[in-house]
Structure 1
Amino acid sequence: MIKPGSLQKGDRVAVIAPAGPPDEEQLLEGISVLENMGLEVVIGRHVYEMNEDLAVVDQKRLEDLHQAFSDPAIRGIFCANGGFGTARIAPGIDYERIKRNPKIFWGYSDITYLLNAIQNFTDLVTFHGPMVSSDMNDEQRTAETESTFHPLFTGESQTYDSNGSPLVTLAHGRGEGRLAGGNLTLLTNGLGTPYQVYTNGAILLIEEVAEPAFRINLMLTHLKQAGVFDEVEGVVIGNFQVEPDEYAKIKRVLKDFFACAPFPVVENFPIGHCQPNYGVPLGVNAKLTTSPPRLVIDSGVM
């Protein structure tokens, strides 16, 4: 895998919105956080634009994405928020352009589709992490979420254990492989396309938001029947962001589904639609253990 360069104070980064326009006030609040890290922020030309013509929308989103990757002064690209529609633009991406200009690409939720698409066609490490508008605004942001950007500057590895969140083991063991995955709905939707997640020898990360237990069960079953779990080395389960009663049902689904897994499965990582929301590099080596539960991830930058 190709690791992008690390960030330094004074670097210029771009904020784009390939999954839909953000709230302007929240975006500006999140941009202030990036600026306080010493970064110079450039906002994509079409970030706030809305249009009912999907073809026009897609072209504008692609334009901002391509411009950010083409500009040699831009060192990182951060998505403003999630939404929908990234699957539509995946076929139109100039992957050779990205391969010639590797840099940090950061987001999650609907951005999952692009994280995997870019990896599949360029071998570039991508980042599943909190977004500028939806996660870094003044109301949502926590100090822990803000700190998750620091490894982009330092190049340090990351370790997650029960010191930060009480991790729960669903299946014991040890696994090592590249970290892959993202939002469960997007992973499922990508199956059978050139943009699907590849899990052979991988530690698979899954997270979701506002989906009932029966839908989680359906999507996990879909992944299983498509062979996604046949050769994984482990599963990391992030946040599901549902009401407590529904989460109790989801926990039963997860417990039953992974009860006989021949690989380690650990849940309750603070990754996904939650606060704190920790960012992780996809495509780098990771080690998952269960005694005690711990995830160690190599640096995502050079």
Structure 2
Amino acid sequence: MHRRRFLESAAAGLALAALSPLALASTSRVTRPARLRPGDTVGLVSPAGITYSRDDLEVARATFAALGLEVVFGDHVLARDGYLAGTDQERAGDVTAMFADTEVDALIALRGGWGCARILPHLDYDVIRANPKVLCGFSDVASLLLGVYAQTDLATFHGPNGISNFSTFTTEHFRSVVMSADRAILANPESSEDALVPRQQRTLTIRGGHARGRLVGGNLTVLSAMAGTPYIPDTAGHVLFVEDVGEAIYRIDRMLTQLGQAGVLEGVAGFVFGVCRNCTSDSGGIAGFTLEEVVRHHVEPLGVPAYMGASIGHTTQKLTVPIGIEAELDADAGTIRLLESAVL
């Protein structure tokens, strides 16, 4: 770890020591990584699917250069093992090596696909725990974010991958949460429609009110597949968020049923359903349920504040949502307010 990082961590430790026992109990469980600053180095890894084009690497390098950040690539970033970016051991080794490398300040997944869950048993969590850094990505990368949070109590970041389209909105929120250490308000972008009442970027309240808890969640398909494993965090008392893409509504129903029966929904403080792009009825017409109806079936019985349509996940306008950080959900306004900075 850079000398600056060490001094920051030491100062944070002294600050915690000065807190009352009650305050210490409420803040000590989650480890926050150091913020990214211009000149820092981002390690780009491929923990899941193949990256076919070398040009993707150059696009990612240019993206982070525009943010004032240097880039290094994992040893197996262009490797191939079937549809995976190298063997499970190679992909896990790249992640562990980036955490161990004192010249690397953050890890960002180049892309999703499938495969992160396969590397979870092969990661060195002692190394990760001893070298807390920003870890960011979305889609299949959610299993890596959740697994690391569950095993190490390190806050992770559900946000853009390395080859994501960093729109102005996406970039501003990434900077705010990961670089500026803002206690940001996570809200959808304003619609650019020329309409008296815009239809885009709207949220829908399922049950009104406010809820407070640590944020946890990710891709619904990934989350439901992790149920029952040691790599899914305890969600009780958390504000749970989910998102997905290209799923038939009956499969959304099936996955929410799985989460409910596995106890993942039990005891959550609040619930947010993010963007579900191209999630359509399989039966057509009026015979099937709508997405809203399915979400209501599973979420209303929880009796907690909840809303739909958050700009999380598979969307160009992407919020960066810190997993493990205390936040307040306003289901009527459709916002999440961070109650603490996600980075030091």
Q: Shorter chain as normaliser: what TM range?
A: over 0.9
2:132 aligns with one of 83, 102, 105: 102
Hey, what's the Cα distance between the residues in 2 that align with 1:55 and 1:261?
39
State the 4+ residue runs in structure 1 displaced beyond 6 angstroms.
244-248
Change in CA separation of 1:35 and 1:163 when aligned onto 2, cut-off 3 Å:
closer
| Structure 2: stretches of 5+ with no match in the other structure | 1-29, 191-200
- Write the letter of the residue equivalent to 1:7: L
Quote the residue 1:41 is aligned against. 71
Matched residue, 2:328? 287
Q: In structure 2, do the counterparts of structure 1 residues 20 and 162 end up closer, same or farther at CA, with 3 Å as the change threshold?
A: closer
Corresponding residue SS for 2:310? coil
Q: Give the match for residue 148 of structure 1.
A: 173
Choose which of 36, 39, 57 in structure 2 pairs with 1:7: 36
TM-score (norm 2): 0.81
Q: 1:263 to 1:59 in 2, by over 3 A?
A: same
Higher RCO, 1 or 2 (CA under 8 Å, sep at least 6)?
1
**C-alpha distance 243-111 of structure 1, shift in aligned 2 (>3 A):** closer
Report SS of the residue matched to 2:336.
strand
Change over 3 Å in CA distance of 1:162–1:280 after alignment to 2: closer
Shift of 1:111: 1.0
Q: Which among 193, 196, 203 is matched to residue 239 of structure 2?
A: 203
- The alignment of Structure 1 onto Structure 2 pairs a total of residues equal to 297
Distance apart, 1:25 and its partner CA: 1.9
Which residue of structure 2 aligns with residue 192 of structure 1?
228
Q: Say if 1:162 and 1:181 are closer, same or farther in 2 by CA, change over 3 A.
A: closer
Does the aligned pair in 2 maintain the 1:130–1:279 contact within 8 Å?
yes
**CA contact 2:211–2:269 (8 Å) conserved in 1:** yes
Match of 2:15 in 1: none
Q: Where in structure 1 are there 5+ consecutive unaligned residues? A: none
2: distance between equivalents of 1:243 and 1:222? Answer: 18
Whole-angstrom CA distance in 2 between matches of 1:161 and 1:91:
35
Q: Counterpart of 2:292?
A: 251
**1:125 partnered with 2:165:** no
Q: Distance in 1 between matches of 2:335 and 2:188?
A: 8
Q: In the alignment, residue 241 of structure 2 is paired with which amino acid?
A: L
Residue number in structure 2 paired with 1:229? 265
RMSD across aligned positions (CA): 2.0
* CA deviation profile, 1:123-155 (whole Å, cap 9, x unmatched): 10001011111x13xxxx421112222122210
Q: Take 1:85 and 1:299, find their aligned partners in 2: how far apart are those partners?
A: 30
Equivalents in 1 of 2:84, 2:56: separation in Å? Answer: 25
The separation in 2 between residues aligned to 1:53 and 1:166, in whole angstroms, is: 36
State the match for 1:183 in structure 2: 219
Q: Over residues 58-104 of structure 1, what are the superposed CA-to-partner deviations in whole Å (9 max), with x where a residue is unaligned?
A: 12101211111011111110100101111111011100000111100
Alignment of 1:270-281 (within 5 A): 270-281=311-322
Q: Which has the larger radius of gyration?
A: 2
Q: State which drifts further: 246-255 or 217-226.
A: 246-255
